[in-house]
Amino acid sequence: MKKVVFSAAALMCGTLMFAQSNVSDVNQNGNSNDAQIVQSGGGNDSEVISTGNRNAATVTQSGTIHNSIVEQRGDDNASTVTSIGRNNNSKVGQVDERNTSVVLQQGGNNNSSRVSQGQISSNGTVSRTGRDNTSDISQDGNSNKSVVEQWDSNTLVGEFNRSAVSQLGDRNDSKVRQTGDNNTSAVSQDGNDNISDILQDGDQNQSTGSQIGNENNSSVSQSGSLHTSTVAQDGDSNTANLVQSNGIDSNSEVNQTGFRNHTNTNQNGDNHESTITQTGDRNGAGVSQYGSYNQSNTVQTGNDNGSLVAQARTGNDSEVSQDGDDNSSNVRQNGGNYNSSDVDQNGSDHVSVVNQNGTENISIVSQKLNRNNSDVQQVGSRNESNVDQNGNDNTGIVNQLGNDNKATMSSEGNRFKNDITNYGVWRTPGASGTMMAKGITQTGDNNIGTITQVGYIGVTSGSGSAGIGQLGNSNKATITQTNLLAHAWSGSNAAFVDQIGDMNESVQNQTGRAGTSYFRQAGNNNYGESQQASQSRATLEQEGNRNSSIQIQGAENMQKSDTYQLGDDNIATSEQSGGITNHSKILQEGDWNTAEVNQLGATNTSDVSQMGDLNISDVMQNGNSNISTVGQTGMSNMSTVNQLGDMNTSTVTQN
């Protein structure tokens, strides 16, 4: 019995000694200060210092080896500290008036919290569950508010989270919520009325936010693991919204300097990279990334610029650079993988649209000076487009549908309208084909260039090449090439237009298999038109004034037409509407010359050469293997040749 009593006494003595190991130190200097300290457990240390009037401090420590320091200097400050667990550390410092701090550390170990507030009516709150979490809040100014929450949303336990908040100025608001493990957050706000909201739901996420100025707003939401975000805003009324959801290891960076700039970033998936840099006022940028390994870099310098980038699937790359005012860029890479887009706009009021739906497409857009408009549509694989517009009020349109199409468009001047359309090849098994448009280079005013190439089902190979070069005023060139092959033929279209002068117009239309048409016009008021089908060839060169030429070749094979005009008011017309292997050649040099050749049949040959003034020649061949040769030199000559039948020969020479 005595042994039992002795053991009980010893236990009570030990318990008393353990309970007495708690230390509390209260120093109050002023009037109406209130301190409430409750410590249960062992090894707890609490210190409360109040200098001023009507300060209130409540410290509750339950567990072991807690350390709490509350220092309040001023009037009407209030602090509440609650620690439950083991080895938690809390330090609160409040200066001046009406500051409020709440620190709640529940059910965890080795947590550390520091709240430092200065001036008037600031509020700092720390709430956590778990272990080894760290929080540091520093507020210098008036009416600032900071809330830090660290826990796991499911287990109410979070570990190794780190949060640091620094606010300098008035009425700044910061909220950090970390649910998970090993998350890191840093917030710095310098100015007035700034708002920062960070949510980290996952593991090993990192977020850094810096705002300098007034009325800036930053919102970051991270779910998943290993995401990194950086937001830096310098100026007033800037807004940044950033969401990283699901997946792992995505990185987003936002840098804004100026007034009322806005960004919206959404990353969903793995290993995305996004960077937005805006310098100026009222700029807006949006980036949406789904899938994996997409990259986007947007740089805007100036005012009122807008950029949108949408990426889905894998490995797409977008580069957007806008320097000036009121520029707009829209890039969509939603329907395939490994597409690349580069948009560079320098000046004002430019509009660029790039839509890539396929795989390994490349688009390059460069627009300089003012009010240029570009629209690039790529549907298919391995298409390439290069649009370069340097001037004012130019329009460039590229449509590529199919595979392996190439388009190059260059304009230097004002009010160009460029249009390139590629309909690659819809391939059957074992077939191949490429429709390639390469060209449109324009320098001058009011020029319009249009290229359209089409290739269809059932070919074994097909290709097209088109180039339009215009230097002058009011020029217009249109090339249309169609390769409609339904059997094992090779198709190779080629059309080239080179115009130098005023009010020139060239229209080329090739349909069928291999066709080649070449135009070169230099002078004034020139007009040339060529229509071809089935491996025909047409060549036209005009240099002079008010020249006009029309070449028409029908659906049969191997037609050849060559026209060369040098002089004034010349008109040459060559029509090969039927038969095969007809050849027409017209050479005119002089004034007011007119030549017309009409061939209907096969293997007919016509050669008209006129050098002089007021010459007229008219050749009609209806039959086969007819030969006509006309040579006129001098003034006021006239020749008419009609051949009806086969193997007729005619030679006219007039001097």
pLDDT level of residue 2 (50, 70, 90 thresholds): very low
pLDDT confidence tier of residue 305, bands split at 50, 70 and 90: very high
pLDDT tens digits for 98-115? Answer: 989 888 877 667 888 888
In the prediction, which pLDDT does 550 show? 83
Tell me which range, 36-50, 504-518, 539-553, is most confidently predicted by mean pLDDT. Answer: 36-50
User: Residue 55 contacts by C-beta under 8 Å, 6 or more apart in sequence?
Assistant: 28, 30, 33, 34, 72, 74, 75, 76, 77, 78
Q: State how far the Cα of 92 lies from the Cα of 291, in Å rounded to an integer.
A: 45
The pLDDT assigned to 481 comes to 72
Of residues 183, 228, 174, 175, the one with CA closest to residue 201: 183
Chain-centre distance of CA 554, in angstroms? 46
* 3-class DSSP string for 520-582: EEEEECCEEEEEEECCCEEEEEEEEECCEEEEEECCCCCCEEEEEEEEECCEEEEEEEECCCC
Question: Quick check: 323 pLDDT over 60?
Answer: yes
pLDDT tens digits, 542-567? 888 888 888 887 755 678 888 898 88
Q: How confident is the model at residue 17 (pLDDT cuts 50, 70, 90)?
A: very low
444 pLDDT band, cuts 50/70/90, is: low
Please say if the pLDDT value at position 140 is more than 70.
yes
Percent of the chain clearing pLDDT 90 (strictly above)? 46
Q: Give percent above pLDDT 70 in the chain.
A: 84
Handedness of CA 332, 334, 335, 340 (dihedral sign): positive
Residue 467, beta-bridge partner list: 496
* CB distance 127 to 148 below 8 Å: yes
Q: 546: which residues sit within 8 A by CB, 6+ positions away? A: 524, 525, 526, 568, 569, 570
- Please give, one letter per residue, the 3-state secondary structure of 328-374: EEEEEECCCCCCEEEEEEEEECCEEEEEEEEECCEEEEEEEEECCEE
Average model confidence (pLDDT) for the chain? 84
Joined together, the tokens standing for residue 564 give 């060369």
Which of 439-443, 487-491, 513-517, 546-550 has the highest mean predicted lDDT (pLDDT)?
Answer: 546-550
Poorest-pLDDT segment among 140-144, 226-230, 449-453, 602-606: 449-453
DSSP 3-state percent helix, strand, coil across the chain (nearest 5): 5, 75, 25
**Given a cut of 60, is residue 487 above it in pLDDT?**
no
Task: Name the pTM for this structure.
Answer: 0.75
What mean pLDDT is predicted for residues 411-426? Answer: 56
Q: What is the largest CA-CA distance in the chain?
A: 155
> Is 29 in contact with 54 (CB distance < 8 Å)?
no
Predicted local distance difference test score (pLDDT) of residue 16: 39
615 vs 607, residue with greater confidence: 607
More confident residue, 70 or 499: 70
| More confidently predicted of 384 and 327 | 327
90-94, 170-174, 420-424, 596-600: which has the minimum mean pLDDT? 420-424
Asked if residue 423 has pLDDT above 50, the reply is: no
Q: Give dist(CA 193, CA 142) in Å, integer.
A: 10
Interval 266-285: pLDDT, tens: 999 999 999 999 999 999 99
Question: How far apart (Å, rounded) are the C-alpha atoms in residues 601 and 290?
Answer: 63
Structure-token pair, residue 122: 């600031």
Q: How confident is the model at residue 143 (pLDDT cuts 50, 70, 90)?
A: very high
pLDDT on residue 152: 62
pLDDT of residue 313 exceeding 90: yes
Confirm if 460 and 490 have CB atoms less than 8 A apart.
yes
Find which of 178-187, 340-349, 554-563 is predicted with most confidence, using mean pLDDT.
340-349
- The token pair at 263 is 């960004």
Instruction: Inform me whether the pLDDT recorded for 468 exceeds 60.
Output: yes
